[in-house]
Amino acid sequence: MTLDVSLEEPLSPVPVGPVPGDLAPERRDSLLHALRHGRGLVGVVLVATVVVLGVLGPLVAPYGPTEQIKGANLLGPGAGHWLGTDELNRDILSRTLYGIRVDLVVVFAAVPVGAAAGVFLGLVTSWWTVTDVIAQRAFDLLLAFPALILGILLTAFLGPGVLTVGVVIVALEIPVFGRLVRTSVRTVREMPFVEASQVVGAGPWWVLRRHVLPNSLEPLTVQLAVSMSVAVFIEGAMSFLGLGVRPPHPSLGSLIKDGVRLLHEAPFFAVGPLAVVVALVLGLLLISQSLAEARRA
């Protein structure tokens, strides 16, 4: 007699509820607690402020981001132009508010896409030796390129623009998250409860989904916050080098670049965009630090 049973699911389904290795509810609470107090709270407030400014930018900006105002050449900060105007008579406050939106797209779209792709690749490749070796060498290849070199390389093919910045960030995040998940896979799969699951017939996909992924969430959350802050830097650096957003559209990086160019004539120019970048990066780093500490605790 042949036993015709699929071994993708355990023979005796595990009861609904926490399984060994899952995040305990109190651990989840401690992460949330970290974001509601101390440094975590400061980080959340900083990031939320920037996000609100970016989202509401078009509603609150006094001028269009590319609007050239007659006679307003390099004006200093004043009642009419809170952050002054640039050499092409554009209101810097309005350009900063619109520029934030580019960074938000980069931070909240490109990084999660890269993270998701990295996690997926890390999960599916690291269970089996052959795919693991191939994936790791591919990750090595991507990690071998410093961010800006990869940016320049991709710009040669795709041309400068926000899409290229996004692609660069996705390409940079895939190996970071892939490596992180791989570590979890290799740790968790040796644990007794995983072996027990396999003994009762659980397949790799089930184990990865029910045991490995939940156990990786904490470091992934911390890494996500770190990667978001790095992404702000990368956008800024790429736009600074002329590889990012194309003129006349603003981004925080290109605004800082213009500000640095006019540092002698208009030292106020770079202050606004710089403050926003600092707030965003600092906020994300504070969030990641508080999460990391809560996790260790």
Partner 1 sequence: MSTPVPAPPRRRLIRLAGALVVLLTLVTATACSSAVDDLKTSSGERKEGGVLRVGALQDIVPARIFTNSSDSINVLIGSVYDSLIDYPRDSLEPQPSLATTWQLSDDGKQLTLQLRDDVKFHSGRPFTSKDVEFSIKTWADPAWTVQLQRTAAAITGFDTSDEHAITLTFAHPLSNIFDLLDMLPIIDRDTIDQLREGKAFVGTGPFEFDAWSPGAKISFKRNDAYWRGKPALDGIEVSVIPDPQAQVAQLRSHQLDLILGASYRDFESLGKDDQFHVNQWAGAEGQVYVGTNVTNPALSDIRVRQAIAYALDRERVVDEVLRGAGVPISAPWPDYSPAYDEKANATYDYDLDQAKKLVDEAKADGVAIPKLPLTYPSENPIYGAIAQIVQADLAKVGIEVELDPQEQAQVIQQLIGAKFPALWILSHGYANWTPSTLAVSAYPFNAEHNASLYVDKDYQAIADKVWNQKPGAVDPADYATLSKALLDGSFLLEIAITLPQDASSTQVHDIGQTKRGEPIFYDTYLTK
Closest listed residue to residue 280, CA positions, set 157, 139, 100? 100
Contacts of 177 (CB under 8 A, 6+ apart): 114, 115, 117, 118, 119, 122, 220, 223, 227
Site for partner 1 in 100-119 (CB under 8 A): none
- Choosing from 30, 89, 136, 198, the residue that interacts with partner 1 (CB under 8 A) is 89
If one asks whether residue 87 binds partner 1 (CB under 8 A), the answer comes out as yes
Binding residue count for partner 1, defined by CB under 8 A = 16
For partner 1, which is the closer residue by CB, 219 or 242? 242
| Angstrom distance (rounded) from CA 236 to CA 79 | 28
Distance in Å from the first CA to the final CA of the chain: 54
Q: Which is nearer to partner 1, 114 or 151 (CB)?
A: 151
3-state DSSP assignment of residue 85: strand
Q: Which of 242, 274, 275, 293 binds partner 1 (CB under 8 A)?
A: 242
Please give the C-alpha separations between residue 29 and each of 33, 34, 36, 295, in angstroms, as whole numbers. Answer: 6, 9, 10, 11
Q: Which positions from 243 through 262 interact with partner 1, judged by CB under 8 A?
A: 246-248, 260-262
Rounded least distance, CB 98 to partner 1, Å: 15
CB of 69 to partner 1, least distance (A): 11
Closest to 95 measured CA to CA, from 257, 285, 230? 257
CB 67 to partner 1: min, Å: 8
Place of tokens 């008579």: 89
Q: Please select the residue that binds partner 1; options are 11, 28, 73, 141, rule is CB under 8 A.
A: 73
Q: ω before 247 within 30° of 0 (cis)?
A: no
Which residues between 126 and 165 bind partner 1 (CB under 8 A)? 160
SS3 letters for 225-247? HHHHHHHHHHHHHHHHCCCCCCC
**For residues 78 and 247, which CB has a smaller minimum distance to partner 1 in the complex?**
247
Q: Which is nearer to partner 1, 73 or 183 (CB)?
A: 73
Helix, strand or coil, per DSSP, at residue 297: coil
Nearer to partner 1, 89 or 198 (CB): 89
Q: In whole angstroms, how close is the CB of 12 to partner 1 at the nearest point?
A: 50
Half-sphere CA count of 11, side-chain side, radius 13 A: 8
Nearer to partner 1, 7 or 156 (CB): 156
Using CB under 8 A, pick the residue from 41, 42, 88, 138 that binds partner 1.
88
Q: Nearest Cα to 289, choosing from 23, 43, 26, 108?
A: 43
Q: How far is the CB of 73 from partner 1 (least distance, A)?
A: 5
Q: Which CB sits closer to partner 1, 78 or 248?
A: 248
Nearer to partner 1, 45 or 260 (CB): 260
User: Which positions lie near partner 1, rule CB under 8 A?
Assistant: 66, 68, 73, 87-89, 160, 242, 246-248, 260-262, 264-265
